[in-house]
Amino acid sequence: DTAVSQTPKYLVTQMGNDKSIKCEQNLGHDTMYWYKQDSKKFLKIMFSYNNKELIINETVPNRFSPKSPDKAHLNLHINSLELGDSAVYFCASSQDMIGTDTQYFGPGTRLTVL
Amino acid sequence: AQTVTQSQPEMSVQEAETVTLSCTYDTSENNYYLFWYKQPPSRQMILVIRQEAYKQQNATENRFSVNFQKAAKSFSLKISDSQLGDTAMYFCAFMEYGNKLVFGAGTILRVKS
């Protein structure tokens, strides 16, 4: 039983296209996150949602729009894709937002923009 | 802003030996949390161990233990009896307010047979 799942695992697309990555967690957690891992393996948070409400937005370009239809899902939609968007995108979840909560990561989605 | 520094880009260890990965961080907060995550070639991010800053006792999980030096802002990971399956990239991470994880640049660990 996968705790945090993402679809698709791989995504190859052309510059200028719009694409979405889906994330689902079956842990009953209230908080979900999106992280970006660049080509040098550096990981940085993009967004976090708690109970479907946006909590953290790390000055990500507004071409990136997260959407949380319910607590178990946090999708990432990217408009007008650019070459620099190529990266691995990780979804994560935690029980809540307090410091004791460990974050559990999904398997990642490798996005390649050509 | 908090920063996390991992000064060893790559390390190697023989199977069954012990290796220590270094991590330092910078913060003005008194209460915080520190983590080590492992990323094997499969790309999955796996929690290895966590430490609460208010606890003086070093965390231990089977073959993995930490040396937490709060005054020095140091948080190293010791892996005992290294196994081939330990080959991975290891990330040190600091948890800020709001549950935002700040990661170091990572250390690639190769376990050799």
B41 Cβ under 8 Å from any chain A Cβ: no
Confidence of residue A28 (pLDDT cuts 50, 70, 90): very high
Beta bridge partners of B51: B34
Residue type, position A112, single letter: T
CA distance A16 to chain B (A): 27
A59 Cβ under 8 Å from any chain B Cβ: no
Confidence of residue B111 (pLDDT cuts 50, 70, 90): very high
B31 Cβ under 8 Å from any chain A Cβ: yes
Task: Indicate which of A30, A36, A41, A51 best probes the interface with B, i.e. most B CBs within 10 Å of its own CB.
Answer: A41
Contacts of B101 in chain A (CB under 8 A): 35, 43, 45, 103
The DSSP string of A92-108 is: EEESSSSTTPPPEE---
Provide the 10 A C-beta neighbour count for residue B58. 15
CB B101 within 8 A of CB B35: yes
Residue A100 has pLDDT above 70, yes or no: no
| Closest chain A CA to residue B52 | A100
A27 Cβ under 8 Å from any chain B Cβ: no
Q: Which of A17-31, A99-113, B76-90 is the least confident region?
A: A99-113
CB B54 within 8 A of CB B34: no
pLDDT digits (tens, 9 = 90+) for B25-81: 999 888 889 999 999 998 999 999 999 998 889 999 999 999 999 999 999 999 999
CA distance B10 to B8: 5
* DSSP one-letter code for A85: G
Q: State the pLDDT at residue A101.
A: 78
CA distance B39 to chain A (A): 10
Q: State the pLDDT at residue B89.
A: 97
A55 Cβ under 8 Å from any chain B Cβ: yes
Confidence of residue B98 (pLDDT cuts 50, 70, 90): low
Q: State the pLDDT at residue B100.
A: 82
pLDDT digits (tens, 9 = 90+) for A32-67: 999 999 999 999 999 988 888 888 888 789 999 999
CA distance A79 to A93: 24
CA distance A104 to B64: 19
CA distance A19 to A76: 8
Nearest 5°: phi and psi at B11?
Answer: -145, 155
Nearest CA to B50 among B110, B104, B93?
A: B93
Q: Locate B3 and state its tokens.
A: 């920063």
Residue B13 has pLDDT above 70, yes or no: yes
Angstrom CA distances, A4 to A73, A83, B67, stand at 10, 27, 30
